[in-house]
Each structure stands twice: as C-alpha cells, then as structure tokens.
C-alpha cells in the first residue's frame, strides 16, 4: 500500500510523537508498504513562537499538495494539527480522499498553560481539524473519553510499543555518584511537563533529569541539586532507566507518556499523578494489567514515589513487555482509510 504520513513533528525533535511515528514507519516498511513522510525537514521552516527548538513549515499548502500528488497515496494519515497537517487535510478534502488523524498532543491544555486562556478556547479548532477524518487515533481509553466529551466521537484505539531489544531489564546501568534512591525524569523540559513538581519534591535521594527544552536553564539554576544529563537515546537511555529506583512522571497533560512503558520494560517502577497517561498505564491501583505493583499514582506525588519504591521490578519488566510495536502497527493499519469519499469538512 502507498501510505502518506504527514507530521509537523519530526527529527531532530525528540518526543513521543516522533518516536511513535518512526517506529510505526519502520514496521510498515518492513512489511513491504511504501511510506512517504511529509515533514518539516522538506520545507522552509520558522521557529515556533516561544519554543525555538520546534521548527514549523508555514505557508506550504501548494508544496504539500505537489508532494501528495506525486505519491498518489492509497491512504493518508495526518498525525498533527500543525501547518502541514492543515495543508494535507485541505488536499484530502479537495480530492475526496479519505484520511485518518491522531490526537498525540493535548494542545488545548498546553496552550492554556502558555497563554493563560482557558483550554475551552482552543477546542473548536481541534474539533474542526479532526471532524472530516474517517477515524481519530487515540492512545488510551481516557484520551478517547476526553475527545468524546469535546464532541469528537469517532476515535479509535492506537496503542504504543517498546523496542524490547533495547529496553529490557538486563544490561548495563548508568553509574550514579549520589545517595539513593535514584529518582529519574525523562522528557522534554518545558512548562507543560510540570517538571518543577518533581524537582521540588521533599524526598530523599538523587534526582536525575534526562532531556532538553526551553525551561532547562531556568530549572537547572533554580534546582542546583538536580543533575541534568541532556538528551539520551537507545542503549544510553536504557542504562539510565535501569539505574533508577523510580521514574517520576509529573505531567498532567500528556496523552500517553512513552517513557513510562520504556522504564517499565527496563524493570523500573513509575510514579505519577492520577491523570490520563499514568492512570492508563499503571492503573489506579498501580498494578497495571498484571495485578502486581508496578508503580503508583497519587494526588500527592511524594506519596506516589514512596509507594512506587515498593514495586516488583520483575512485574514492571513483564508489564513493559506487553507493549509491542508490531501489534500497534496492526491497529494503525486496521484503521487506515483507503481511497474513497471524504467526510464533510
């Protein structure tokens, strides 16, 4: 099948959207599908206001259309609600080409944090973007419920996976020179990740932060006792997971949190708030799908960290191994819409 995947998020960005798409594309190509990525790296880009690390391709509707015309895709998936996503949406509607979308990022909540405006101000644009899609792919049931509450009723499940060859419990551990327990955070260092809730915790141990982003310099200065290690990938990231006693996931706005299942696959328990993402992965009781403690969620993050330290690391690894990119790609293909009449805009 000739598949076009359009995304405003792509390398060199480091986030869950990029990693999910890259893993899916690799799996699709291994199965013999022809996949064309339409991403910012093929266009003139400008820095995203307030987030210079992200480059956006504005005003590229004609160029996107030409790319898609050349490919003549049998199926189109639009992964993001950015400029390229809107351009591809327009192309599909103009040609009565059915397409799917996905809800990776809680933009209404992110924009509310950055602008001070209520999230409800941004939901009309999100509804409009996804309305004509034949399906909106969502990582968890709680994300699907949120979409339904905001009038997006045609969501379908698309879970996430782990590369079991890299993220596994056996293997080297990052050398840590500091007192235990080792508390780790992995992710983009930005206001929407609520990282300060982790850094301000009054709990014993050594705090490690893996990742980069616009808030790094400010937080490193404010919390000098924490160690900021920069971005890690692959085996180095797995070694950091294995070295940690708990992965702390303080975000209240993520739709999933790929780092949580990677940490679990390495045998590391997870602590977070009882919100979508942590509650979906860990369960409200912190026992996941296996019935044995793999972490904890609590309105008091320090209490969640304390409870997560009692988790069974073997159970964590077994839980992480449940997440498989091949099965996720099966879901993606099952929902992918082939050529046919598009829905009304």
Q: How far is CA 289 from CA 67, 96, 284, 319, 334, in A?
A: 43, 41, 11, 7, 24
* Distant-in-sequence, close-in-space partners of 221: CB < 8 Å, separation ≥ 6: none
pLDDT digit string, tens, across residues 53-70:
677 777 788 999 999 999
> Given this chain, do its domains 2-161+326-335 and 182-323 carry the same CATH topology?
yes
What kind of fold does domain 182-323 have according to CATH? Rossmann fold (3.40.50)
In the predicted model, is pLDDT for residue 345 greater than 90? Answer: no
pLDDT in tens, 222-265: 999 999 999 999 999 999 999 999 999 999 999 999 999 999 99
According to DSSP, residue 201 is labeled: -
CA distance 280 to 140: 7
Residue 48: pLDDT above 90?
no
CATH superfamily of 2-161+326-335: Glycogen Phosphorylase B; (3.40.50.2000)
d(CA 335, CA 345): 20
**What mean pLDDT do residues 62-85 have?**
95
pLDDT, mean over the chain = 93
Percent of the chain with pLDDT over 90: 84
DSSP calls for 49-68: TTEEEEEE-TT-HHHHHHHH
CB atoms within 10 A of CB 291: 10
Task: Pick the more confident residue, 170 or 115.
Answer: 170
Strands of the 270-272 sheet, one edge to the other: 227-230, 206-210, 182-186, 246-249, 270-272, 295-297
Residue listed under structure tokens 């419920």 = 145
- The reported pTM is 0.91
Q: Determine phi and psi for 19, rounding to 5 degrees.
A: -70, -35
Spell out the domain ranges in the chain.
2-161+326-335, 182-323
């Amino acid at each position: 099948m000739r598949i076009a995947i359009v995304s405003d998020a792509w390398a060199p960005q480091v986030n869950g959207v990029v990693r999910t798409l890259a893993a899916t594309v690799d799996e699709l190509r291994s199965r013999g599908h022809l996949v064309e990525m339409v991403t910012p790296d093929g266009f003139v880009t400008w820095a995203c206001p307030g987030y210079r690390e992200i480059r956006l391709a504005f005003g590229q509707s004609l160029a996107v259309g030409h790319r898609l015309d050349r490919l003549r895709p049998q199926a189109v998936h639009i992964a993001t609600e950015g400029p390229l996503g809107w351009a591809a949406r327009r192309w599909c509607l103009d040609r009565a080409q059915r397409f799917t979308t996905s809800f990776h990022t809680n933009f209404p909540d992110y924009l509310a944090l950055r602008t001070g405006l209520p999230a409800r101000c941004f939901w009309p644009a999100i509804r409009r973007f996804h309305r004509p899609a034949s399906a909106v792919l969502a990582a968890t049931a709680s994300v699907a419920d949120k979409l339904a509450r905001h009038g997006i009723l045609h969501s379908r499940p698309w879970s996430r996976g782990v590369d079991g060859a890299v993220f596994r419990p056996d293997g080297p551990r990052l050398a840590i020179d500091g007192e235990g327990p080792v508390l780790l955070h992995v992710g983009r260092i930005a206001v929407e990740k609520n990282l300060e809730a982790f850094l301000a915790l009054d709990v014993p141990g050594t705090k490690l932060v893996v990742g980069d982003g616009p808030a790094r310099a400010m937080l490193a200065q404010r919390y000098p006792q924490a160690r900021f290690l920069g971005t890690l990938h692959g085996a180095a990231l797995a070694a950091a997971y294995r070295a940690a006693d708990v992965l702390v996931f303080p975000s209240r706005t993520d739709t999933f949190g790929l780092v949580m299942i990677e940490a679990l696959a390495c045998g590391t328990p997870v602590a977070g708030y009882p919100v979508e993402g942590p509650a979906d992965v860990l369960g409200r009781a912190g026992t996941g799908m296996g019935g044995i403690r793999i972490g904890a969620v609590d309105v008091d993050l320090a209490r969640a960290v304390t409870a997560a330290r009692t988790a069974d690391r073997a159970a964590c690894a077994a839980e992480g191994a449940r997440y498989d990119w091949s099965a996720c790609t099966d879901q993606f293909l099952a929902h992918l819409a082939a050529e046919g009449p598009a829905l009304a805009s």
